[in-house]
Structure 1
Amino acid sequence: MRHPHVNAAHAWARGAVAGTRPACKWVRLACQRHLDDLRRADEKAWPYYFDADAGERVCEFVELLPHTKGQWAQRGERLHLESWEAFIFVCVYGWKRKKNGTRRFRELYGEIPRKNGKSQLGASIGLYMLIGDAEAGAEVYSGATTEKQAWEVFGPARRMVERTPGLRHAAGVEVWAKSLAIPADGSKFEPIVGKPGDGASPSCTVIDEFHEHDTPDLLDTMQTGMGARTQPLTAIITTAGYNLAGPCYDKHIEVKKVLEGLIENDELFGIIFSIDLEAYEWHGVKVPPDDWADPAALKKANPNYGVSLDVDFLLAQQRRACMNPVEQNRFKTKHLNVWCSARAAWMNMQQWAMCADPGLSIDEFAGEDCYFALDLASKIDICAFTQVFKRMLNGVDHYYAFGKYYLPEDTIEESKVNQALYRKWVIQGYLTATDGAEIDYDVIREEVRAMGRRFNVLEVAYDPWGATQLAHQMADDGAIVVEFAMTTKNFSPAMKEINAAVKAGRFHHDGNPVLAWMVSNVVAKEDANENIFPRKEKTEQKIDGAVSTIMGVARAMVHAELYPTFPDNHPLTVI
């Protein structure tokens, strides 16, 4: 068998996708992504190919390294890659760029519960990048917030080299107190703590327990220093955490969106081992959420269950958490990889995607009743103009949503987080870049007037914050303008109706990726009366299009009752 590790990795991926191996949604999506990419590799336009030899080589290297802890170290055994570990190595090192043969993935994010061999995984990556990557003058760093944490990866790597004299001599590695060095070409592997200086030129950075970082300083400095390297790698190996304001949770969300296809990042490989907190549909089969107190959940979240992870220990921890509520969050976070402080996402994005009809055109609704909604919260940020139609089919309401989105060119250029997304959507025609630093509301006013001539516009709902003048101008144009107060009372019924309509297939949209991204950014937490309100967790996670869509549906829901009461001579109405 020429590529046993690659074959084992592929078999594991197929098992996860087929459901014959316990795997949460995010593991399944990571596996599906790899298998889909393998099928695309022969396409001329697809820029990547899979190098099985490279994937096998790194696995063979790792299995030359010795265990450094526990009974396996005591017996002098070498590492043995489980299939899930082989999958990570095979993907990260096997995918190459057709144009120059360098690695595709520049970033690895692995979210893995405790005691599943994270430090061993990180140490192996660091040593391969030092010794086996053929990078002249390699600089490999184990980064963390404290020296103790930095040594959780560097320490095992150092001991592995010490206990493998053949490898040490063959590679010319010298073992020092706080570094591994190859004098022949100046390569080194060192721990690094806190915010580093700007002088480093990393070829690889391994960041352990990224959830403990309050800022992205270390990550940013390391990645900006990689510009001179042809195929650098940032490897983040972490458990879940509690800090939703930290950079790790941002990366967690980014990985999920890449796996769901909401954003594109072909250079990021991500895999999250956890339990399923929400039901979802997988290849036509409904998958129920997991009960965290069920022993079966342990197998799904912990890939080394029964291998490096003692089953009796894990079951005891689970029983303890069941009996003591104080222990529950710690258990869920450390052993099931659940971000316990996270708010619930409003929308199941898989169901949202199933409601898309790329062939749906707003031209089909010419002359029909329509509800316009405007979220114009800021002239320097995204402004959203949504058109909502409602049809009665088989006795139930169906909603059809279309949207236009505007953003100043200056904001696009100044955006550090979303710039690539914005530029892509402008090129694709999904986002309108307006001249200068601010959006000219006259542009939107003309758009509303032009579209208003194509449909029977019953109302134009608007967010009163900063748009009152535009509202009065639209009223002068003859529109029935409704001030939509940003209150739970106004939002909650429509949010619940949209969710129900999406689940039932009564909500329809044209697959606009800007709206999908914004809908995915909405979080909703119920109050004591089970009311919900659209929120975002980060400033850069825009929700304007989702908000205006909710506004449009809200007005469609109440219009039949309220519209007859509108005074004919007072088109500006407040609710």
Structure 2
Amino acid sequence: MSHTKGTWSGKAFELIDWQEQIIRDVFGTIKANGYRQFNTAYVEIPKKMGKSELAAAIALLLTCGDGEERAEVYGCAADRNQASIVFNVAADMVRLCPALSKRVKILDSQKRLIYLPTGSIYQVLSADVSNKHGFNTHGVVFDELHTQPNRKLFDVMTKGSGDARTQPLYFLITTAGNDTNSICYEIHQKALDIIDGRKIDHTFYPVIYGADEADDWTDPKVWRKANPSLGITVGIDKVKAACESAKQNPAEENSFRQLRLNQWVKQAVRWMPMDKWDKCSYSADPDSLAGRVCYGGLDLSSTTDITAFVLVFPPKDEADKYVVLPYFWIPEENMSLRVRRDHVPYDIWEKQGFLQTTDGNVVHYGFIETFIEKLGEKYNIREIAFDRWGAVQMVQNLEGMGFTVVPFGQGFKDMSPPTKELMKLTLEEKLSHGGHPVLRWMMDNIFIRTDPAGNIKPDKEKSTEKIDGAVAMIMALDRSIRNEGISGKSVYDERGILVL
């Protein structure tokens, strides 16, 4: 076979060392019965390393060279266009190979190849296939698994679809993603567990090329470590240029780390450095805070979603820290559904006491009002800030209980100062949040929007998952700073946003 694109077009397809190792291991490791040992291969590698060409070659090998009568080989991706990338490479390989072009019929409009001697097919699947069953799969090539919006397609194609075949192969190839609740991250973790010896699965073949979290992303040695085809399929000058651009524009750093170094990042523009956040996991005994002045932030979200209430206790002196006590509620009836759908451990958090449920399929605001009223008997809650577009009735009820409730805008003007201050306090380790796992998850979800003047605010629409607790904490922090005479002016007002 031959390469199909660019300067490589028409040249013999000779496997690069790392590609050859995968082919030798996956197709050459045989069980006592003569069939392949591995039925799943997971290859995670940066972009421009020759993923599409390798995937196309494997698809053709499974279709035309595996000795399987009427083999069914499928190409899958997040959408038909993505899946067609590998198919188009495979089709061009066939056209450039006289032996294959005589034996393979290409149906471009259907994105289908037929190997005539055995009646085997290679077919790109459409997006709605996740609702279908009955495949008799010999091979599946999943391209860019990290872009799968959910696990439906993966489950349909891998759970039982190859039971009638003697040696089906599921070839999963991808770059690192940014959704740690995805099917790809689940497989990524399994691959790491097998590589590190924490799990044993003799049918699963894991390959991960990438930089470690502690590696210096600007170091060319790290680039070579993460990119096994560097200098072959992509020049080091290209990577250097991308790195220099990321240095000049911090918003590009995570994109560089994800695509060029194959590191899992939380979202395209990461805000909170979680290692710094974790250093503020000091625990404060809630009982020891009884009678202390504090300020609340309330984010009601929707009645079927998470409601967050966060108390922030200002420091007693310069050596003290801001103490954060968060509380979360979710409707009991839809919790199991959300666990299955979102792959978020709400049920475990509820058992551990970090999340509370209210009866029914919507959040019971009366229950939360009573809970806050009891908190008010224990702590000196001076103010409760809330999103001015929140539930009017609940605000009136809290005011009727004697609380001072103040509206808090969600625009740059109101959100920017305390959001910057939160980062400053975190970096200085002047925050104490006790390592609360729900709040930590939400902090790790934050995507920050920036305006031309350098103001920032959390962006619920762009953030990968829920951030309600983080927003509630920011509102409470603002009231605490402004009312306790501690300057709300952040160093970021002068030097701009600090991106780590």
The question of a shared fold, defined as TM-score above 0.5 by the shorter chain, is answered with yes
Deviation at 1:423, TM superposition (A): 3.3
Q: Rate the CA distance shift 1:207–1:175 in 2: closer, same or farther, 3 A.
A: farther
2:124 and 2:395 map into 1 onto residues whose CA distance is 56
Bigger Cα displacement from structure 2, 431-440 vs 66-75: 66-75
Q: Rate the CA distance shift 1:299–1:131 in 2: closer, same or farther, 3 A.
A: same
Identity %: 28
1:470 and 1:317 map into 2 onto residues whose CA distance is 54
Equivalent residue, structure 1, for 2:278: 353
2:41 and 2:15 map into 1 onto residues whose CA distance is 27
Structure 2 residue 351 is the aligned partner of structure 1 residue 403 = no
Alignment of 1:433-444 (within 5 A): 433-444=357-368
Q: Rate the CA distance shift 1:149–1:431 in 2: closer, same or farther, 3 A.
A: same
Alignment of 1:536-547 (within 5 A): 536-538=460-462, 541-547=465-471
For 2:335, which of 386, 390, 412 is the aligned residue? 412
Contact in 2 for aligned 1:403/1:515 (Cα 8 Å): yes
Equivalent residue, structure 2, for 1:208: 143
Equivalent residue, structure 1, for 2:44: 110
| Residue-by-residue CA offset, 1:12-68 (whole Å, 9 max, x unaligned) | xxxxxxxxxxxxxxxxxxxxxxxxxxxxxxxxxxxxxxxxxxxxxxxxxxxxxx886
Q: Which runs of 5+ in 2 are unaligned?
A: 30-36, 106-112, 194-198, 487-500
Deviation at 1:315, TM superposition (A): 2.3
Structure 2 residue 124 is the aligned partner of structure 1 residue 192 = yes
| Residue-by-residue CA offset, 1:172-202 (whole Å, 9 max, x unaligned) | xx9743246996xx9x561315336424354
Alignment of 1:217-256 (within 5 A): 220-221=152-153, 223-229=155-161, 235-238=171-174
Equivalent residue, structure 2, for 1:315: 237
Deviation at 1:385, TM superposition (A): 1.3
Alignment of 1:128-207 (within 5 A): 139-143=72-76, 145-146=80-81, 149-152=85-88, 154-155=90-91, 176-177=104-105, 178-179=113-114, 190-195=122-127, 197=129, 198=132, 199-200=134-135, 202=137, 204-207=139-142
Bigger Cα displacement from structure 2, 542-551 vs 497-506: 497-506
Bigger Cα displacement from structure 2, 199-208 vs 445-454: 199-208
1:543 and 1:533 map into 2 onto residues whose CA distance is 12
Q: Rate the CA distance shift 1:124–1:437 in 2: closer, same or farther, 3 A.
A: same
Contact in 1 for aligned 2:70/2:121 (Cα 8 Å): no
Contact in 1 for aligned 2:331/2:358 (Cα 8 Å): yes
2:378 counterpart letter in structure 1? R
TM superposition score normalised by structure 1: 0.60
Structure 2 residue 449 is the aligned partner of structure 1 residue 525 = yes
Q: Rate the CA distance shift 1:297–1:80 in 2: closer, same or farther, 3 A.
A: closer
| Residue-by-residue CA offset, 1:465-496 (whole Å, 9 max, x unaligned) | 23222222222222222222223222111111
Deviation at 1:533, TM superposition (A): 0.9
Deviation at 1:382, TM superposition (A): 0.8
Q: Rate the CA distance shift 1:222–1:426 in 2: closer, same or farther, 3 A.
A: same
Deviation at 1:443, TM superposition (A): 0.6
Q: Is the partner of 1:479 in helix, strand or coil?
A: coil
Q: Rate the CA distance shift 1:453–1:134 in 2: closer, same or farther, 3 A.
A: farther
Deviation at 1:356, TM superposition (A): 2.1
Deviation at 1:419, TM superposition (A): 5.2
Contact in 1 for aligned 2:209/2:228 (Cα 8 Å): no
Structure 2 residue 312 is the aligned partner of structure 1 residue 380 = no
Structure 2 residue 383 is the aligned partner of structure 1 residue 449 = no
Deviation at 1:156, TM superposition (A): 8.8
**Count, aligned residues:** 436
TM superposition score normalised by structure 2: 0.67
2:224 and 2:3 map into 1 onto residues whose CA distance is 25
1:542 counterpart letter in structure 2? K
Q: Which has the higher contact order (CA 8 A, sep 6+)?
A: 2
Equivalent residue, structure 1, for 2:491: none
Q: Rate the CA distance shift 1:72–1:192 in 2: closer, same or farther, 3 A.
A: closer
Q: Which runs of 5+ in 1 are unaligned?
A: 1-65, 94-101, 165-173, 241-247, 563-575
